[in-house]
Structure 1
Amino acid sequence: MDRKNRTWVSEFFLLGLSSDWGTQVSLFFLFLAMYLVTVVGNSLIIILIRLDDRLHTPMYFFLGVLSLVDICYTNSTVPQMLVHFLSSWKAIPFHSCMLQLYVSLAMGGTEFFLLGAMAYDRYVAVCHPLRYTVIMSRVLCLGLATSCLVAGFGNSLMQTVIIFELPLCHNVINHFACEMLAVLRLTCADISFNKVMVAISGFLVIMLPCFLVLFSYAHIVAAILRIRSTEGRCKAFGTCASHLTVVSMCFGTAIFTYMRPAAGSSVKQEKMVALFYAVVTPMLNPLIYSLRNKEVMSALQRVLGKLK
């Protein structure tokens, strides 16, 4: 369709999660509590890694970057969602919707790549412990983190430009945010190309990091099984348990949702998955990494001890 014949949309209206006022108020307080836990928990992780020299290792460097990504991810959608819970006018300007989609896609993609980089870090730590500090140098860590960000933002830019170049026939989004599939439903043009691009993007952003994780943990499990002492095996597995928990949670849900045939998904499922990644995952990550990690808890005690 020619650019001059496109329907111009100045703002979008979001249907949200519920139309019942009482339900919206309850959801407001629930998600406000989860949002505060997310921001405080991830900020605390970043502060601890910054202040405690014992956490200045590649593993915690990636964890700090992951916490920063989680804060940005949740801030891209949750504050607006909280405002809309207490508002009858659930509108978002066109350019704000575009920015929200861009940031959320970028942060989501970056997180998947980061989990792959963290799996590689654990592989080197378990399978090549004597060469760990040499292989996982500061230059490599910075390079991997930068590559994750560039890949995430590059994929997001491509998807956002392609989506908002389409003509829009409607401006009512059946979602609580400007989510990719929800916005695509507003178009009045053939979106076959977009579906292909979504599939390719899903493979590159989800499946490639997942293959790296599987490759890394296959070698990690083999190395752990070669350890003779039970204590040694438990210690080796303990260094990977937190990351493996987050990986299983993130990749499992993403593959189940986005790598299925289009007919197998529904608007309700898409909303639940978007909530999971925007609210639940960023909240659980610091809890999983802190409660299951003695080094993080020890760092917290040391920092609190200095403040007394």
Structure 2
Amino acid sequence: MFKLSFRQRAILIVVLCCVLFGLLCERALWSRVSLAVSHPASVPTHTTAPLITTVSIPAEQDLFIPFILAVPLHTTVTWWNDDMITHIVTTTAQHSNFLNPQTFSFHIPAGKQQQITFNEAGLYHYYDSTISTWNTGISRVEAKKGTPYYPLAMDGIIWVQGPINGFSASAVNSVIAGHDEFAHEFVAIHQQGGVTWHNLDEDPHFVGLVDGWTAPINPTDIGLYRIAGTDDTPGGASITVLFNTPGLYYYYCRNHDQVDSLTHRAQALPMASEYPVPMEGFVLVEPI
């Protein structure tokens, strides 16, 4: 009978161990592959940004952050007062079928909060009547001197999204003669409608969107439009802008305002006739 030497037996044992180890590794590998096939890795899904339903009042700034807040109908909005003084929040004196359909007024003590549930769609323009004033001459909120972000007023807008009846396909706005201001701060039309601006002032003015906002606020760029004044065109020039995408459009005149990079708001320049009130406006475009 053939006998293996001690050296040969040792080599054979090593070879058998290697084969056995290889088989075990192969089995483990195929088990992992089978597991991966049976339970594939979850595919990341697209998630939308969480809905913001809070307006903050930062300490010693006399501002509402964000300036514009868009929420669905029946949303409860919370105002947080992180300041060291009490603030008063109240809607402006303007009312229409889409502007301030509900009125409110309340105090928020330092370090406290206040909530309101909005059950009517529309735009709600509010301000702090202790920090800013209501200019009855031009129907605008005006900042008081000495506030930290003067000439920015302490006002804000809640856009409650939902169906609103009574919109037309067109609206007309104008630049007031002798004033660096639009006649109407808020206009509304339905989708695929247009807004016409007529310049009754001597100087040229511009209409362009305020940077820094995302849909549904300024959902698409409308371009930049120059409107010649009465010094250039007898009676003043007009421009018409068509709005095919629903949303809230926030615009300003770059001749008399600049955009504040912190708040993304139009801020009046000292040379503007209505300073500290900015030359800004809003177009609400409702879906058909």
TM-score w.r.t. length of structure 1 = 0.23
* Higher relative contact order (Cα pairs below 8 Å, separated by 6+ residues): 1
TM-score w.r.t. length of structure 2 = 0.24
Please identify the structure whose Cα radius of gyration is greater: 2
